[in-house]
Amino acid sequence: MSEQNSVIMEIRAGAGGEEAALFAADLFKMYSKYAASQEWKQKTLDSHQTELGGIKQITFEIKGENTFSKMKYEAGVHRVQRIPETEKSGRVHTSTATVAVLPKPKATESNIRADQLKIDYYRASGPGGQYVNTRDTAVRITHIPTGLVVTSQTERSQLQNKENALSILAARLLEKKQREELTKMGGERKAQIHAAKRAEKIRTYNFPQDRITDHRIKKKWHNLEDIMNGKLDKMIKTLQKNL
């Protein structure tokens, strides 16, 4: 397979309530700043935020040179240990967010048939569930053969949201196909594909100790603030060498 220069990433808040959503927002900012430092282009395809500025779920596309080879190691469960802004007694909480990294299929790889899609339009909603549009611009697409459901509501145009949702669907269908092929292969090859293990806890961000630990290669880094500001180069290069 040729080098993928476009990826679709999904970040979802996991265990930890509002603090997990705030951590998901921090991860999104971290990847956005890293993408900017690499001169990659970024576009948000779908987003669901909380009233306190956290993110329940966000799906975005990154385009640029070698995006997949650099970002694929981010897939998995990210754990944070810190005192939340919402915590008055000063206790350290542990929360999680999950990251998925999907190579975006080229047009020739995507063979989604219109007659296999159920498309619904509805009003986009903001934090707290209030409607932010007076027209039905948000899009929900159900892929009937697999039951996969994707949404997009970030654009004001119904057509643009539909295109975004189809991009997400194409990436998820490609990932599903690759996962099924790996399962058939089994054995050693399957064990090497870390990106397929979404449930694997890959990293802990410990704010009180200013330390980030990658559990897959048992390596620690300090200067957590720099890393959260998008300075991921050192960490990504180490992962590329060791995974």
CB 74 within 8 A of CB 99: yes
Phi, psi of 227 (to 5 degrees): -65, -45
Query: Percentage of residues in the chain with pLDDT exceeding 70?
Result: 87
- From 64-68, 96-100, 187-191, 200-204, the region with the lowest mean pLDDT: 187-191
DSSP character for 3? P
Confidence category of residue 42, pLDDT binned at 50, 70, 90: very high
Nearest to 59 by CA among 135, 172, 145, 157: 172
- Residue 194 to residue 40: CA distance in whole angstroms: 24
Residue ranges of domains in the chain, CATH in brackets: 6-107+193-242 (3.30.70.1660), 114-185 (3.30.160.20)
- Residues constituting the chain: 243
CB atoms within 10 A of CB 180: 10
pLDDT digits (tens, 9 = 90+) for 43-68: 999 999 999 899 999 999 999 999 99
pTM of the shown model = 0.84
Average pLDDT score, the chain? 87
Q: Copy the structure tokens of residue 208.
A: 């009180």
Give me the residues paired with residue 11 across strands.
58, 99
- Residue 206 to residue 123: CA distance in whole angstroms: 39
Q: Is the pLDDT of residue 236 over 50?
A: yes
Q: Is the pLDDT of residue 27 over 70?
A: yes
pLDDT digits (tens, 9 = 90+) for 91-147: 999 999 999 999 888 776 677 899 999 999 998 877 766 666 667 889 999 999 999
The DSSP-derived string for 98-119 is EEEEEEPPPTTT----GGGEEE
**Of 181 and 4, which is predicted with more confidence?**
181
40 burial type by CB count under 10 A (0-12 exposed, 13-18 middle, 19+ buried): buried
What's the angle, vertex CA 174, arms to CA 172 and CA 180, rounded to 5?
A: 100
